[in-house]
Amino acid sequence: MTISRNALLATLLGSVLLAASPGRAEDKYAGYYYPPPQETETYVARVKPLADAKREQRIAFVTGVTQQLINGKYPPTFAVFAKGDDADKLMIVALQEGQINTLYRARALLANLTALSRLTPFFRENAIAGQGTFFDLLKLLGFTLVTISDGDKFAHQEKLE
């Protein structure tokens, strides 16, 4: 069987384009839970995952956060859930129009989540006092990726290393 030069070039070009945009090609949740992320950054955590950080702990964390959101005074404005075989991909998606639709609003929400995290005994016992962030808490639990989105046009990802 002979492959034409054009077919070979198209295959090579497709491979190069996929390799040039890692995150997007392998993100099976983009286009389903959120639009393809415009940008992916890497956060180098100040902590290492806990030795016993397992799928069950990550699911329990997300369930606890969701329960807090649902039991609050007001309806939640965003959903938090975990995906992936190991439930190591955290997603935060707005439930209302006009919410979390810029990188600045995403960072503001993450800053609020950092402030709330610092109040928990778990965080105080396991993170660097006063310096840890919400991302550090997630790293302790074994999360590897955080995606935050407005559920419409905006999505941003943070790889946790």
Beta-carbon contacts of 101 under 8 Å, excluding residues fewer than 6 positions away, are 94, 150, 152, 153, 154
pLDDT of 86: 97
How many Cα atoms occupy the beta-carbon half-sphere of 35 within 13 Å? 12
More confident residue, 64 or 6: 64
Confidence of residue 68 (pLDDT cuts 50, 70, 90): very high
Q: According to DSSP H, which parts of 21-133 are helical?
A: 55-70, 103-118, 121-126
pLDDT of 24: 43
User: Does pLDDT of 10 surpass 50?
Assistant: no
Mean pLDDT rounded to a whole number for the chain: 85
Beta-carbon contacts of 123 under 8 Å, excluding residues fewer than 6 positions away, are 117, 132, 137
**Lowest pLDDT segment from 3-17, 55-69, 77-91:** 3-17
> Where are the domains positioned within the chain?
32-160
Tell me the per-residue pLDDT of 79-129, one tens digit each, with 9 for 90 and over: 999 999 999 999 999 999 999 999 999 999 999 999 998 888 888 887 676
* Backbone angles phi and psi of 156, in degrees to 5: -135, 140
Query: By C-alpha distance, which of 103, 111, 115 is closest to 149?
Result: 103
pLDDT of 18: 33
Query: By C-alpha distance, which of 25, 29, 3 is closest to 16?
Result: 25
More confident residue, 124 or 151: 151
pLDDT of 129: 66
pLDDT of 42: 97
